[in-house]
């Protein structure tokens, strides 16, 4: 087991690239006060880079140490390759109570694009599905306004992953902002995306000279009939039950 060493703060560099692209100021302030009162109880995990050290896990603790102008901080020094470092950082981030999904996604995208790890390797090392990794890559490519809504948790991730597939940038932004205001569900976003694709198909296959199809500024709400009263309502307002697919004996 590696021993804890006290290392000069000025010799420790932030992660390159960092998993967190921005600090949560409230979290840093709280951490700074905790370290001021009780000391730094959890050592940083670092690796050697020449004559210096680079943070693997403990970026926030390092920032708090800078603010407190500490001379030294306790560290665990680990020999780790670039790929091992990337995996360790992501595992540490996933252990947090409230990880920043956008920063996480941007980090994964940078690592994959650098060639340090493939999508398949990341999937295996993090014990996550390929879909999970690919969704993170999709988040990294989202426009700034969608990423900001994800950071502030105004837009559910599942809704964002559906609406980002709307090819028209203007429609995508209008529908996203509408989804934030209306509290759209993932099912509603799926329905809206399907309707958009139908409208685009009609638009692309329209006869020459036909008037252009106007895509609504608000995402369409698909209504489904109630099995009992037949009144149409959004899917979220309907209850589902299990019934026989064939030869059901109940009266129709």
Give the Cβ contact number of residue 3 at 10 Å: 8
Two structure tokens written together for 89: 């950082």
Asked if residues 44 and 55 have their Cβ atoms less than 8 Å apart, the reply is: yes
Instruction: Tell me the CB-side half-sphere exposure of residue 211, using CA atoms within 13 A.
Output: 3
**pLDDT exceeding 70 applies to what percent of the chain?**
88
Residue 20's pLDDT is what?
A: 80
Q: How would you classify the pairing of strands 52-57 and 44-49?
A: antiparallel
Residue 238: pLDDT band with limits 50, 70, 90: low
Model-level pTM? 0.74
Encode pLDDT of 15-58 as tens digits. Answer: 988 888 778 888 899 999 999 999 998 999 999 999 999 999 99
Query: Facing residues of 55 across strands?
Result: 46
């Amino acid at each position: 087991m590696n021993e804890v060493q006290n290392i000069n703060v000025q010799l420790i560099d932030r992660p390159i690239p960092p998993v967190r692209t921005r600090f949560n100021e409230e979290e840093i302030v709280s951490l700074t006060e905790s370290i001021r009162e009780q000391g730094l109880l959890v050592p940083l995990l670092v690796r050697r880079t020449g004559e210096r050290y680079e943070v693997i896990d403990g970026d926030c603790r390092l920032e708090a140490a800078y603010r407190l102008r500490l001379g030294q901080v306790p560290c665990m020094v680990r020999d780790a390759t670039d790929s091992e470092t990337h995996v360790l950082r992501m595992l540490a981030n996933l252990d947090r109570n409230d990880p920043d999904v956008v920063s996480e996604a941007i980090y994964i995208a940078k690592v994959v694009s650098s060639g340090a790890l493939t999508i398949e390797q990341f999937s295996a090392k993090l014990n996550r599905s390929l879909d999970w990794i690919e969704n993170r890559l999709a988040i990294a490519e989202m426009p700034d306004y969608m990423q900001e809504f994800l950071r502030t948790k105004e837009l559910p991730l599942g809704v964002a992953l559906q609406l980002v597939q709307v090819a028209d940038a203007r429609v995508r932004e209008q529908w996203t902002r509408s989804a934030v205001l209306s509290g759209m569900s993932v099912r509603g976003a799926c329905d809206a995306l399907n309707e958009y694709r139908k409208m685009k198909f009609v638009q692309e296959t329209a006869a020459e000279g036909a008037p252009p199809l106007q895509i609504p500024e608000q995402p369409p709400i698909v209504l489904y009939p109630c099995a009992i009263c037949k009144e149409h309502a959004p899917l979220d307002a309907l209850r589902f039950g299990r019934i026989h697919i064939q030869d059901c004996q109940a009266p129709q």
